[in-house]
């Protein structure tokens, strides 16, 4: 399997200059061929393929006006073209917007697809030689590629993609349902206990500092050296905000993944939510980032991340009897079920429902794969209605197609542990 390690690197002055040239060439190639593809599309109705662009680039380098394109290794520029093709593919499959022109004032990056290695604690890159790096852990495996990036605050990072033969360990642990919210970031129900984690609000925390720095920036004359300095200062505050958020979410996801074998969460439409008036809070909470971290960390360690369809009414269902309360709105934090008179905390109830729904999905999947033996099947029948709370249209692709036998067992075990009283 492939693994990535992102480390900070410290190039010397000479290497910085060399990197700056490579960033520039790579950016130029992207912008040049994005423009060329657009023009060609307007003229002929056909866009350029990677092969056509690469051929064209070889010819372009021979012209005296474009000699400077010979400076970086050819592979770096070809990688830029490959990225452009991927960007177009993503656009045509409606995953992203139309590829944009790159600016020299935002984050810069290049990828070295070959000839990278680690020597005595430093990173060896083509044309640059040994670059000082702070490696947080050892890379034991063949390096596939290295992506070097420079942030707008002048920090350099290298993302090392490498092959590792370390097989994903079969995790043992609990199954938890997690409900995401703005009042408490996550509400976790692991089958026995329920706990909440409060969100940190980095944007709110640094709002004042950001406002002061922005104010200072607005007073600077356009195009002046001081203005450029002020832009860097603003970028630093933004970096601080983003780092604080990432650090918190990494630690939270690490804890959740360590505790659980299976995590069930709602498949939120983060993009859609970010268009509502809660946008700032939602962005600050970093829902999408948290789900992403949980997903890849579980994946790496042989766990399973189950996403429940966003139309599953996790909040409105009573986790005791399955009665659907349609009168619920966002302001109600606690409610009493009209059917069974159980008192519910809104978030806790949702996480219970999500967990039950996740188990139902896993059982359906493992049944479909024939992993459940007859005894297991009987248990599912015994749980009957409680497990099958509501038949929602859960797309298989959202929760992955395969369920490993160990997870199927874990589902069965956790079902066994739960007495009918806790379920009903
Ligand atoms: Zn009820």
> Whole-angstrom Cα distance, residue 155 to residue 182?
32
**How much is the pLDDT for 393?**
33
pTM of the model: 0.75
Catalytic residues: 179, 266, 347
Q: How far is the CA of 189 from the centre of ligand 1 (A)?
A: 18
Whether the predicted pLDDT of 203 surpasses 80: yes
**How much is the pLDDT for 412?**
56
* 308 three-class SS: strand
Average pLDDT score, the chain: 82
* 334 three-class SS: strand
Average pLDDT for residues 403-421, to the nearest whole number?
52
Which pairing describes strands 174-180 and 260-266: parallel, antiparallel, or unpaired? parallel
Q: How far is the CA of 324 from the centre of ligand 1 (A)?
A: 8
Residue 170 in contact with residue 404, Cβ under 8 Å? yes
* List of residues 6+ apart from 366 with CB closer than 8 A: 372, 403, 407, 408, 411
Phi, psi of 51 (to 5 degrees): -60, -45
- Identify the band that residue 117 occupies on the pLDDT scale cut at 50, 70 and 90: confident
Higher pLDDT, 307 or 405: 307
- Identify the band that residue 211 occupies on the pLDDT scale cut at 50, 70 and 90: very high
Whether the predicted pLDDT of 379 surpasses 50: no
Q: How far is the CA of 345 from the centre of ligand 1 (A)?
A: 13
Higher pLDDT, 421 or 247: 247
**How much is the pLDDT for 384?**
32
Q: Which of 52-66, 319-333, 385-399 is modeled with the greatest confidence?
A: 52-66
pLDDT tens column, 62-104: 888 888 888 888 899 999 999 999 999 999 888 888 999 998 8
**How much is the pLDDT for 390?**
29
Q: Which of 54-63, 162-171, 189-198, 258-267 has the lowest mean pLDDT?
A: 162-171
Q: How far is the CA of 319 from the centre of ligand 1 (A)?
A: 7
**How much is the pLDDT for 279?**
77
Whether the predicted pLDDT of 49 surpasses 80: yes
Residue 389 in contact with residue 360, Cβ under 8 Å? yes
**How much is the pLDDT for 16?**
92
> Whole-angstrom Cα distance, residue 202 to residue 5?
25
Q: How far is the CA of 312 from the centre of ligand 1 (A)?
A: 17
CA distances from 106 to 3, 103, 188, 373 (A): 27, 6, 38, 56
**How much is the pLDDT for 398?**
40
Q: How far is the CA of 3 from the centre of ligand 1 (A)?
A: 46
pLDDT tens column, 219-230: 999 889 999 899
- Identify the band that residue 209 occupies on the pLDDT scale cut at 50, 70 and 90: very high
Q: Which of 47-51, 73-77, 404-408 has the lowest mean pLDDT?
A: 404-408
């Amino acid at each position: 399997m492939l693994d990535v390690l992102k480390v900070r690197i410290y190039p010397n002055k000479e290497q910085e200059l060399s990197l700056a040239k490579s960033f520039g060439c790579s950016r130029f190639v992207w912008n040049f061929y994005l423009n060329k593809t657009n023009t060609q599309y307007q003229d002929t109705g056909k866009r350029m393929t990677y092969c056509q662009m690469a051929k064209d680039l070889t010819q372009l380098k021979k012209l005296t006006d474009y000699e400077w394109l010979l400076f970086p290794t050819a592979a770096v520029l070809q990688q830029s073209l490959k990225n452009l093709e991927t960007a177009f593919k993503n656009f045509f499959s409606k995953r992203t917007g139309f590829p944009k022109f790159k600016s020299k004032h935002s984050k810069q990056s290049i990828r070295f697809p070959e000839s990278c290695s680690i020597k005595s604690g430093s990173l060896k890159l083509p044309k640059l030689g040994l670059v000082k790096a702070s490696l947080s852990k050892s890379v034991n495996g063949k390096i596939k590629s290295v992506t070097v990036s420079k942030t707008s605050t002048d920090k350099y990072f290298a993302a090392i993609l490498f092959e590792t033969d370390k097989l994903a360990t079969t995790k043992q642990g609990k199954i938890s349902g997690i409900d995401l919210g703005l009042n408490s970031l996550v509400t976790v129900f692991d089958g026995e206990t329920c706990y909440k984690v409060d969100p940190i609000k980095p944007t709110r925390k640094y709002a004042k500092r950001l406002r002061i720095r922005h104010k200072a920036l607005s007073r600077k004359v356009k195009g002046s050296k001081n203005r450029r300095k002020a832009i860097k200062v603003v970028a630093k505050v933004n970096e601080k905000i983003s780092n604080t958020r990432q650090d918190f979410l990494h630690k939270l996801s690490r804890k959740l993944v360590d505790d659980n074998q299976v995590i069930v969460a709602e498949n939120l439409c983060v993009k859609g939510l970010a268009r509502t008036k809660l946008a700032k809070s939602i962005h600050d909470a970093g829902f999408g980032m948290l789900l992403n971290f949980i997903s890849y960390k579980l994946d790496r360690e042989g766990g399973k991340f189950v996403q429940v369809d966003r139309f599953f009414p996790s909040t409105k269902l009573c986790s005791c009897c399955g009665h659907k309360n349609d009168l619920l709105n966002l302001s109600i934090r606690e409610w009493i079920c009209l059917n069974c008179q159980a008192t519910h905390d809104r978030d806790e109830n949702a996480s219970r429902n999500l967990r039950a729904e996740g188990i139902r999905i896993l059982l359906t999947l493992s049944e479909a794969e024939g992993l459940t033996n007859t005894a297991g099947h009987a248990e599912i029948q015994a749980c009957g209605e409680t497990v099958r709370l509501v038949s929602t249209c859960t797309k298989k692709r959202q929760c992955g197609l395969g369920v490993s036998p160990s997870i199927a067992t874990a589902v069965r075990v956790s079902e066994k542990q739960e007495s009918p009283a806790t379920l009903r």
